[in-house]
Amino acid sequence: MIHFVLLISRQGKVRLTKWYSPYTQKERSKVIRELSGVILTRGPKLCNFVEWRGYKVVYKRYASLYFCMCVDQEDNELEILEIIHHYVEILDRYFGSVCELDLIFNFHKAYYILDEILIAGELQESSKKTVARLIAAQDSLVETAKEQASSISNIIAQATK
């Protein structure tokens, strides 16, 4: 089971955190501080696994971002790397060659996509196409709602002119 997902920038800024096991706010910031200290200092050629507090943290660097997932000792680390890559590919398709700025300004989108890939710390969908389709459908629902809202407010605005 994945206990949490972290996206940390090269500078140690947090870009996304998702917790599937209960951690208090205090613990969360401690975990982030501890792990960014360990992971950001590791050399490029080293393996992508860090043993930490009886868990394993699997991380992978994409450009300026570190994607980290904390899993149980008996979980398959190599598969977690694939899950990270799966997520990155979906982000890439959604944003069109994703970069860190996309994830900063559209952080909520990154969360929505993650929620279509993982629930309760387990993998939900192995098809990138399906995930993209589901996200697109929900985005269009939001768009329609927004249009309706703005047309109503236009009507009100005109009526009260």
CB of 10 to other proteins, least distance (A): 15
Least Å from the CB of residue 60 to other proteins: 10
- Residue 129 makes contact with other proteins by CB under 8 A: yes
From CA 13, how far away is CA 11, in angstroms rounded? 6
- Applying CB under 8 A, does 124 fall inside the site for other proteins? yes
SS3 content of the chain, % helix, strand, coil (to 5): 50, 25, 25
CA angle, residues 109, 58, 46, in degrees to nearest 5: 125
Residue 124 DSSP one-character state: -
Q: In the chain, what is the straight-line distance between the N-terminal and C-terminal CA atoms, in Å? A: 58
Q: Does 24 bind other proteins (CB under 8 A)?
A: yes
Q: What does residue 72 show for φ and ψ, rounded to 5 degrees?
A: -70, 160
Show contacts with other proteins in window 51-80 (CB under 8 A). 51, 76-79
| Sole window of 64-72, 91-99, 100-108 interacting with other proteins (rule: CB under 8 A) | 100-108
Select the residue interacting with other proteins from 63, 136, 141, 155 (CB under 8 A).
141
CA distance 110 to 94: 9
104 binds other proteins (CB under 8 A): yes
What residues make contact with other proteins under the rule CB under 8 A? 14-20, 22-25, 29, 43, 45-51, 76-79, 81-83, 86, 104-105, 107-108, 111-112, 115, 119-120, 122-130, 134, 137-138, 141-142, 145-146, 150, 153, 157
